[in-house]
Chains A and B, each alone.
Chain A
Amino acid sequence: MAVSRRKRSRVTFPIMAAAAFAALTTTMVPQPSFAEDSPNDWPKYYRTDDAWRYSPLDQINTGNVKKLKVAWIHQPGDIQMGLQATPIVIDGIVYYVGANNNVFAVDGETGKTLWHYKPELDPIVTKVFYVAATRGVTVGHGMVYLGSLDGRYIALDQKTGKVVWERQITDLKTCYGCLFSSPPQLAGDILYGGTTGGDQPQAGKIFAVNALTGEPAWTFNTIKDDPKSWPGDSGKVGGGGAWMPGVYDAKTDTILIGTSNAAPDFFPDGRVGDNLYSATILAIEGKTGNLKWHYQEVPHDTWDYDSAYEIMSIKHDGKDLLVHLNKGGYVFVLDKATGKPFNIWPLAKHINWTSGIDPKTGEIKDRYEPKVGEERVMCPYLLGVRSWNAASYSPKTGLWYTNAMEVCNTINSSPQEIDKVGLAGLYLGVSKLEAVPPPGDKASARLDARDPITGKVKWSVDYEMPGLGSVLSTAGGLVFNGDVRGVFHAYDAETGKELWNFNTGSGIRSGPVSYAAGGKQYILVPSGLGSHAPGFMASAFPKIKGLPGGAALIALTLE
């Protein structure tokens, strides 16, 4: 086993030669850009680096959306943990990843498989907590990049699906199964990404390599080497994984990426301090990995309030701002150049971990923390006011569309022995943990349309259970959102009126996208409920129990 691992981690001579040739030709012949301005494509995880999840296509619109029909269905053939990916679409070809890192290139007009890459995964991937699921792939430099479940970066030839290079990045045996659940992202010639690990006794890192060759470039420690932040050895087990895709500002060579909570999540006694850079937005120079600025949303987090979700860029009154949802229920609007707060507003109605956050200074007032030996109801719960799948912003309406839920958890804080955590274990620091309705209210869910700067509500649609997929908005005046039963809804972006829906057969836990091929616009929805979240929220939403899993990529177009 050890020998094969070493073999795998090496970049062989032919691969190095091929990569060197690729680098040479890349230098000599300008490659097509990611065409952020190409309306037909969905070239990146959030489509563009402003993370709007907005398609400028308008062939499908409020007037004809009722005529949407299934064009084709592609099944990855493995439904473990559902289908959680956001597909990438470039020049009419769909690239996506199903369970256990099966990567596909699919003809966007017909659904025909063009190639399929099935990696030989280390058997350890079946023994860890975050099994089977991956959120997508990244395409660029003529390659399709995968962060694997066994801790590798793998670059595939975009045309053939053959391996161009691969590199072992993490060792799951020594980091409690830390792995790439999200696709590494491109910052020019740099490929970077982080791993799971906010709930494990490990120290998070962001790993960057040369995207053309796989050679290591830099590593950023998301656990700051500072005894004021992490006394004693607490930082070595402090969590802090950056487990969602970052975004890149090419103009300033800046990577923007958020980090997870500090560990152990609910028992903070051993980590007195601010616990930098957990629950933090990081601005990192792409070429060097140097930190430009940081903004810690939740200093000394004791509630599992990650800052890992999408970081949206928006212009407002001539200012470049970032809009970012923290799991703790607040939306942080920050100055993009400095990270200083511009405004902070609550998305959640039920928040009791603080009496409020100063919208100009970010000061967290009157912290209410978990306590050893006492059950306390904390709001929002550990899954946040929303799960990790992203919101959408439409420049046509100026509205930000996001799923939201109102759920709390009962917590009894408790010390936890690290040597008993084990490979698949979690380092939560609890003896009791249960999702419960908010005090005096029922557990609820909704899709909101809001002003992203102020939080003012334009419209809101109630949901029976929390939406767990990403929202999609389009220039056709539409907002698409899937529910956990598998019904995919289209709304009027201005009013929230439901115009159409379609039952995909299994819950939406992924990122629906839109693209055009052969002169037709398509809505592409990955269907397939999975992941751990439905299990934990079942005590607050009993109807979520037993909903069917699945995995099918469904393309919809006008008849």
Chain B
Amino acid sequence: MIKKDFVLSYKAQVIIACGVSAIITLFAMMASVMAAAGTANGGGEAILGDPAAIKVGEATFYQNCVYCHGSKGSGGSARALQCRDMKPDYIFETITNGRINGANVMPPWKDTFDEKARWQLVAYIRSLRTLPECDSNN
């Protein structure tokens, strides 16, 4: 026997169905907007595993970042970037706005690199978390 309290009326079922449908539609729209934004900003997080993006990011890194962060992000005056599982947004935000840490000063790069170039850098830096030397260091 089903207790009456747990039986939903037809009206309630329609309302719930509409609500779920609306939420699904909303999520679909958001995903669409995010995808569009991702395209506009050079792929955003979507390019993180893209070998081509990593290669471009690597060249940008060697032209601009190696002075402080060392080859393959091995660290120097700034902290090592390799063998660290940093969140993409965190890396992107730091590149964008820079950082001051004691004597070390990293300028903001938002006036130097467009979003696409910054995400390509993120892609390269993310690729450094699984280098062979990470195993030997551990």
**Interface positions of A (Cβ within 8 A of B):** 79-82, 126-129, 131-132, 414, 416, 420-426, 428, 430-435, 506, 528-539, 542, 544-546, 548-551
Contact = CB atoms under 8 A, between A and B. Distances in A.
A424 B107 contact: yes
Contact of A426 (B63, B78, B104): B63
Given A420-B117, A539-B71, A432 B76 contact: no
Interface string B95-117: 00010101111011101110001
Contacts of A434: 62, 66, 71-72
B77 A425 contact: no
A542 B75 CA distance: 9
A431 B62 contact: yes
Contacts of A131: 105, 107
B59 A431 contact: yes
Contacts of B112: 127, 421-425
A539 B70 contact: yes
A425 B64 contact: yes
A543 to B, nearest CB: 11
B103 A82 contact: yes
A426 to B, nearest CB: 5
B113 A422 contact: yes
Contacts of B103: 79-82, 506, 528-530, 548-551
Nearest to A416: B63
Given A535-B77, A538-B76, 7 more contacts: A81-B103, A126-B107, A131-B107, A424-B107, A530-B77, A538-B77, A549-B102
Contacts of B76: 534-539, 544-545
B75 A424 contact: no
B68 interface: yes
7 contacts: A81-B103, A430-B63, A433-B62, A529-B103, A530-B103, A532-B68, A548-B102
Contacts of B64: 424-426
Contacts of B67: 426, 532, 535-536
B91 interface: no
B114 to A, nearest CB: 8
A201 to B, nearest CB: 12
* B interface bracket (residues with beta carbon within 8 Å of A): 20 to 34
Given A425-B112, A539-B71, A433 B102 contact: no
3 closest Cβ contacts across the A-B interface? A549-B103, A422-B112, A535-B76
A432 B102 contact: no
B69 interface: yes
A427 B79 CA distance: 24
A445 to B, nearest CB: 16
A99 to B, nearest CB: 8
Contacts of B79: 546
A80 B111 contact: no
Nearest to A382: B67
A98 to B, nearest CB: 12
A425 to B, nearest CB: 5
A431 B69 contact: no
A537 B102 CA distance: 20
A535 B78 contact: yes
A327 to B, nearest CB: 15
B105 A132 contact: yes
Given A126-B98, A535-B77, A430 B62 contact: yes
A538 B104 contact: no
Given A422-B112, A422-B113, A432-B62, A532 B100 contact: no
A533 B67 CA distance: 7
Given A431-B59, A545-B75, A424 B111 contact: yes
Interface in B77-99: 77-80, 98
A490 to B, nearest CB: 25
Contacts of B102: 79, 548-549
Contacts of B68: 532, 535-536
B74 interface: yes
Contact of B70 (A80, A127, A535): A535
A343 B102 CA distance: 45
B58 A431 contact: yes
Contacts of A420: 113, 117
A463 to B, nearest CB: 18
Best-surrounded residue of B74, B104, B111, B117 (most CB of chain A within 10 A) = B104
A131 B103 CA distance: 11
B109 A424 contact: yes
Contacts of B58: 431
Interface string B1-35: 00000000000000000000000000000000000
A39 B97 CA distance: 49
Interface in B49-69: 58-59, 62-64, 66-69
Contact of B77 (A129, A424, A532): A532
Given A424-B64, A425-B63, A431-B62, A127 B78 contact: no
A533 B76 CA distance: 9
Nearest to A409: B71
Nearest to B104: A549
B105 A80 contact: yes
Contacts of B105: 80-81, 126, 131-132
A80 B111 CA distance: 21
Nearest to A535: B76
B124 to A, nearest CB: 12
A252 to B, nearest CB: 39
Nearest to B75: A545
A528 B77 CA distance: 13
A545 B117 CA distance: 27
A405 to B, nearest CB: 15
B100 A534 contact: no
Contacts of A82: 103
A509 to B, nearest CB: 10
Given A528-B103, A536-B67, A536-B70, A545 B111 contact: no
A235 to B, nearest CB: 21
Contacts of B59: 414, 430-431
B132 to A, nearest CB: 16
